[in-house]
């Protein structure tokens, strides 16, 4: 049986949609500015995939950064997250740049290759990281980058190192370790 702390801090399993307000709110922009974090990696015309986007904290910035000729594919296992994200992007007037995709816990299920993939504060929720990271590697175009960021609250340095070792086995190599507040982060590409 899960403790109240396991539920509140989403220590196991997928973060429930009702808990999004704790990390998807205006206060978060004080330490996580989506445009500043993502703009070094996303260009106009890019195809970007946001895996586990919640209700779109980073997705609207991605839609803005890819421009009119680019596209963002938001992938989540929870329909409610995708519905909330779509409403947010629509309110920003960027819906024509967004495609949502309901995945399963076993498969991302996107066939398109991307210039940039984002997995922000979600890989620790994935039960089989090797399988997941192999799927991410298959989504990357040859020159693409993958920004993997995990929360300090949930993921120890040792656990993050194990994730990066698993990524290496999936054919991904670390290009940089960007500094992102309250996070352990790596920018990866195909080896």
Q: 182: domain range?
A: 33-190
Question: pLDDT (tens digit, 9 = 90+) per residue, 44-60?
Answer: 999 999 999 998 999 99
Confirm whether 5 is domain-assigned. Answer: no
Confirm whether 21 is domain-assigned. Answer: no
CATH, residue 95: 3.40.50.150
Q: How far apart are CA 52 and CA 14, in angstroms?
A: 9
Question: pLDDT (tens digit, 9 = 90+) per residue, 61-71?
Answer: 999 999 999 99
Question: pLDDT (tens digit, 9 = 90+) per residue, 88-145?
Answer: 999 999 999 999 999 998 999 999 999 999 999 999 999 999 999 999 999 999 999 9
pTM of the model: 0.89
Neighbours of 31 (CB within 10 A): 10
* Short-list 147, 163, 143, CA closest to 155: 163
Confirm whether 6 is domain-assigned. Answer: no
Q: Domain count of the chain? A: 1
């Amino acid at each position: 049986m899960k403790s109240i702390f396991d539920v509140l801090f989403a220590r196991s399993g997928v973060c429930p949609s009702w808990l999004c307000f704790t990390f998807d709110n205006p206060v978060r922009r004080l330490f996580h500015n989506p445009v500043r974090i993502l703009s070094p990696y996303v260009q106009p015309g890019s195809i970007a995939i946001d895996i586990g986007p919640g209700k779109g904290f980073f997705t609207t910035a991605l839609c803005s950064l890819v421009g009119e000729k680019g596209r963002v594919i938001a992938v989540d296992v929870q329909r409610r997250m995708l519905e909330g994200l779509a409403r947010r992007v629509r309110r920003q007037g960027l819906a024509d740049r967004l495609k949502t995709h309901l995945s399963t816990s076993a498969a991302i299920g996107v066939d398109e290759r991307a210039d940039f993939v984002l997995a922000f504060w979600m890989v620790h929720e994935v039960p089989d990281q090797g399988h997941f990271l192999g799927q991410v590697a298959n989504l990357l175009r040859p020159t693409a980058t993958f920004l993997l960021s995990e929360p300090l609250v949930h993921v120890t340095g040792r656990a993050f190192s194990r994730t990066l070792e698993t990524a290496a086995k999936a054919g991904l190599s670390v290009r940089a370790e960007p500094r992102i507040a309250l996070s352990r982060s790596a920018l990866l590409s195909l080896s």
